[in-house]
Structure 1
Amino acid sequence: MAREIPFFKPDITQYERDAIEKVLNLEGDDTIQGLEEAFVQKTGATHAVSTNSGTSALHLAMCAMDLKRGDKIICSVNAFPSVPEVVRHFDAEPIFVDIDGEDFNIDLDALEAVLEKNHSKKLKGAIVNHVAGQPTDLKRLYEIAEKYAIKIVEDASDAMGATYDGKPIGATGADITCFSFSPHMKHSVANAGMLLCEDDTLHERARLLRNHAIQSDGWDKYGNLEYIYDVVDIGCKYDLSVLDAAYALAQYRRIDQMVARRQEIAAIYDRELAGVNHVTLPVKKRDHSYQLYIVRIDRNRDGFARALKEKGVHTGLHYIPLHLMSYYKQKYSLRVNDFQQALQTYQQVLSLPIYHNMSDDEVAYVCEAVKEVAAAHI
């Protein structure tokens, strides 16, 4: 019987158990505030607003930016559905842009071309995701944003603990950066998100709207609302539970260890899979935290994935281009060939298991499985 290597497996240590136990015993300091402060301290951001998911953080970012019906937001066609989804909830329009064929991030030349052609005041900004944990060229991105006076929201769901030129993602120059504790297709034990920003107004609005736009004299440490309150806008219910915060904070305090181990695993993959027929390894152009390890299979990617699964190795696909999704294809009359690079990439990419609690023996098994499948691949 084949050995089983899941695509992702959570790592729950005594540290997480102790943190949750404190909450259940009503002990300790304000865990939610502690999580926000940990992000501020680690990233250097000015403000942090916790949420109950990464998608909530993205939607709250659009709320804070006061997105309105008919507004436009640019995003990569190679993003998780949550990205255009939060735009559509305002009856605003996502404008899709093709991707770079090497790092799978948004093609900045294509982004600038869209901005050059579109002079509408309705174009408010761009949501830029960092695929697999390798940030896009942020220096150039920020230069483009300044030139065309648009706001940048970074979807850092794959980039928690990642860096750009050695500086932590979260305060490198975006208007808002959003994180998720449940990265795409990796089901976390607890859900949580985080919104980081520098602007006081964006921060105050995000914090207000996070919990029904209620204003009061305050909340106590258990979340009880003070007696007199008012509602001053249309808000959301995106605040984070204390239990989720406890787990997330315990995990976040180990994020450097997690990233370092994934980088070790990526180095093993790089070494052991170099030159394997039919397999092209990831292109590392900048700092890379390897939330995902995405390879290209030159032909019959699905057959390759099936063969790996028969050997017990589970894989992922990041991502199916958004213009192939029924809703967006029909809503905006998009054609299959509208985004050539994303289409070609989608037909070839495959994500191998990579998580920090993989043992060297498990990594070696994945490498041998890939070699065996590649040797027999047609």
Structure 2
Amino acid sequence: MKITLTKNGQGKLRVRALLAVFSLSLVFVFFALSCCQSDSLLSKPPRYVFLITLDTLRADYVSVYPQAKAKTPALEEFARQGISFDRAYSPIPITAPAHATMFFSLPPHQLKLYNNGQIFKLGGRDKSPLVSLSQIFQSENFATAAFISLGVLKAKFGLGRGFDFYDDKFPPERWYLTAAEINQKFFAWLENFTAKKAFIWLHYSDPHDPYAPPATPDDVELTVNQTGKKRFCLRKMEPLHLNFQAKPGRNTLRIKILEPHPEGKIRLRLSQIEIKTQNGLKIPFSINCFDAYEKDGQKFWLIREEATLSFTSPGDDLELNFQAHPDMFWTIEEQRQAYRQEVEYLDSQLKALQEELKARKIWEESLFILAGDHGEGLGERRTRFGDFHFGHIHFLYEPYVHIPFIVSSP
């Protein structure tokens, strides 16, 4: 690996390197555990070593780098006090195997780990056990703790090895945690931390879909019989269901789009609509909407601004349940703006992390390595069906694998 160091007028080190993320743990251990020379990044070994992985964060949305599409002042602060790698690339745009490469310094094909949900077997190529980054720190008498924000990184999939504490708990209705929730868990753990030194993995995944920071407004409103109203944020993948009291006879349920499509197109498609009694009896309904169609035996209803369901209650004052499967349609620019908002929200929580560590006098005794696990497609490419592609996994083009990588120590 060839690395060229340059120094700007303010003393900031910049690095231009072609770097695969699977070499991260070697870099990490070098900085954290070696006896550092006076002209290196650290003047003495740190008490606290942080691996901060930034799931789904593209390098071109980090303002450490030129012509960034988002503002990330907290990441800039990390970079000002360390080294930024301009050309760092993930070996695979999938969360679990990308993280495994960081912890074991081997590419996915040697780890034989290729996808999320796959149980990672820890035997090496010669059947000897692999040693993880966390185990190396354990062997140096570091306490080890991990705080995970995506369900695909739960300990049961194989990355919990070498951690004294591995927090992978999620609310029952969600498979992800926000950056603020990760910070809250970590700060609570710090309250009871008494060891002399620690290796801490903080996993943040806000740029991952759904692109919906906590302040994202609701986008759909349900109204029963022109009175009872409830709002939902489908961008946050909230389930569209409602329990309500039906009146005798004819009832209506109105579905209103709170922010219609800016180009006047279809905003919402519903399928699997059901209205049921508490004992599971399905109630027939009719729906007045923009359009509907049937494909492979399944019905779909298209809504541009609003739709109304009508049905007759089979009894007096029954408690009923409405549910449907929603698909929202956004413009490319709306998706990119939402992604940028997620990145900037994440950065605000990194700022909160910095402030907390400074208040606890941990900041000055720490080494930080911050890295994306992979990037994200934001409509630059099309799928084989001709749709604009949002997400990762399927492609190895620049937006999917070019990631931020920063080594920092105050």
Normalised to the residue count of structure 2, the TM-score between the two structures is 0.23
> Comparing both structures, which one devotes a greater share of its residues to strand?
2
> Comparing both structures, which one devotes a greater share of its residues to helix?
1
Normalised to the residue count of structure 1, the TM-score between the two structures is 0.24
